[in-house]
């Protein structure tokens, strides 16, 4: 539906980017919903679906959709790279003047799209952010985990990420700015907050998943949380120095006391003290090394400069089922 667009009569194009992992079961319904919402906007649009190496039938569903209907660009990554990488691929391939990022599990209501587009056109905002009004049904551990994570991240980085979701509209300026950020450790939510720009918010309620279950394991969440914290704050590193200074102070005091007792001929008999000190200092050293290791790992990943994802197949709108050779983006 892109059509030829001369500069004068140029109509704004809206892109919708959707990362897909194992969502084959309900994808057709969701795509139909998204298309219906987009048609209400009366603007030309394109859909960009990124299959993040799903082992289920998601790719077949996407190809069938691409054949059956217009304006669908489909990307298939060579394996599961994770949602953030899939988003990168989608944003790289989106051509719209506004790009809407939406989950493929039905938790982000497509009915919000017309409002987002209207807000973007009327308010002149660069980013329209859908903010979780209520987090919807989720396990206590994930709710508590999210609360704790956002609290720590806010304290460490000074940015407010709470309630932020990946459901948002970005205008061309914001997308281009985002594409300038070349880091491998992508924390999409955080990076858009970091960019600033004129942002307006629109509340929405997270609905339960249409089908399937969240594929984020605790370990995956923990990894994203670590990426988020290390990418947005170097405070933990300072903490190591701080702890070092505090313990230096304590050790001077303890050293003086020990020396005094020794000189006075009343050397400490406490074996327990020695054990305790060793334990405390030992664990502190381990934690410190671990923190440094986390940053080192991030630096290592960045320095390698590998592409964030690899594309196995790319279907352009209107040319369904034409394979393109492996191409990659950074």
The one among 31, 65, 82, 161 contacting ligand UDP by CB under 6 A: 82
Choose the contact partner of 52 out of Mg ion, ligand UDP, none; CB within 5 to 8 A by kind.
ligand UDP
Is residue 104 close enough to count as binding ligand UDP by CB under 6 A?
A: yes
E strand or H helix at 278: helix 271-304
Segment contacting ligand UDP by CB under 6 A, of 15-23, 170-178, 282-290, 321-329 = 15-23
20 binds ligand UDP (CB under 6 A): yes
**Would you say 23 and 50 are in contact if contact means Cβ atoms under 8 Å apart?**
no
Q: By rule CB under 6 A, what count of residues binds ligand UDP? A: 16
Q: What separation in angstroms does the CA of 176 have from each of 41, 101, 118, 196, 217?
A: 23, 15, 21, 13, 31
Contact between 283 and ligand UDP by CB under 6 A: the answer reads: no
Beta carbon nearer to ligand UDP, 2 or 33: 33
Alpha-carbon gap, residue 230 to 251, rounded angstroms: 30
Q: What is the largest CA-CA distance in the chain?
A: 96
Question: Would you count residue 96 as binding ligand UDP (CB under 6 A)?
Answer: no
> Helices 235-263 and 140-157, interaxial angle, to 10°?
80
Number of residues that bind Mg ion (CB under 5 A): 2
Q: Which of residues 76-105 bind Mg ion (CB under 5 A)?
A: 105
107 counts as binding Mg ion under rule CB under 5 A: yes
Question: How many whole angstroms separate alpha carbon 216 and alpha carbon 207?
Answer: 17
Residue 171, token pair as written in the block: 């205008």
Tell me which residues touch ligand UDP (CB under 6 A): 19-21, 23, 52, 80, 82-83, 86, 103-105, 107, 214-216
């Amino acid at each position: 539906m892109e059509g030829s667009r001369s500069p004068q009569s140029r109509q704004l194009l809206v892109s919708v980017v959707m990362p897909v992992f194992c969502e084959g079961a309900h994808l057709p319904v969701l795509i139909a919903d998204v298309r219906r919402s987009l048609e209400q906007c009366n603007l030309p649009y394109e859909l960009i679906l990124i299959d993040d190496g799903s082992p289920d039938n998601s790719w077949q569903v996407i190809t069938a959709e691409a054949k059956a209907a217009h304006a669908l660009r489909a990307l298939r990554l060579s394996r599961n790279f994770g949602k953030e990488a899939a988003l990168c691929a989608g944003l790289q391939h989106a051509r719209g003047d506004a790009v809407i990022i939406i989950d493929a599990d039905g938790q982000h209501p497509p009915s919000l799209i017309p409002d987002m587009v209207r807000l973007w056109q009327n308010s002149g905002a660069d980013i329209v952010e859908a903010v979780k009004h209520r987090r919807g049904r989720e396990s206590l551990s994930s709710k508590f985990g999210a609360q704790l994570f956002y609290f720590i991240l806010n304290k460490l980085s000074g940015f407010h990420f709470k309630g932020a979701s990946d459901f948002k509209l970005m205008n061309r300026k914001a997308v281009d700015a985002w594409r300038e950020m070349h880091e491998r450790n992508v924390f999409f939510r955080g990076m858009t907050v970091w960019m600033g720009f004129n942002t307006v918010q629109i509340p929405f309620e997270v609905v339960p998943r249409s089908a399937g279950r969240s594929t984020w394991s605790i370990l995956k969440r923990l990894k994203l949380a670590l990426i988020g914290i290390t990418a947005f704050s170097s405070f933990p590193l300072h903490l190591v120095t701080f702890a070092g200074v505090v313990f230096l102070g304590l050790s001077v005091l303890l050293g003086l006391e020990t020396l005094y007792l020794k000189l006075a001929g009343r050397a400490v008999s406490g074996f327990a003290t020695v054990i305790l000190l060793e334990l405390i200092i030992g664990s502190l050293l381990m934690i410190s090394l671990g923190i440094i290791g986390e940053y080192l790992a991030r630096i290592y990943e960045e320095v390698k400069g590998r592409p964030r994802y690899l594309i196995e197949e790319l279907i352009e709108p209107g040319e369904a089922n034409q394979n393109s050779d492996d191409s990659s983006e950074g």
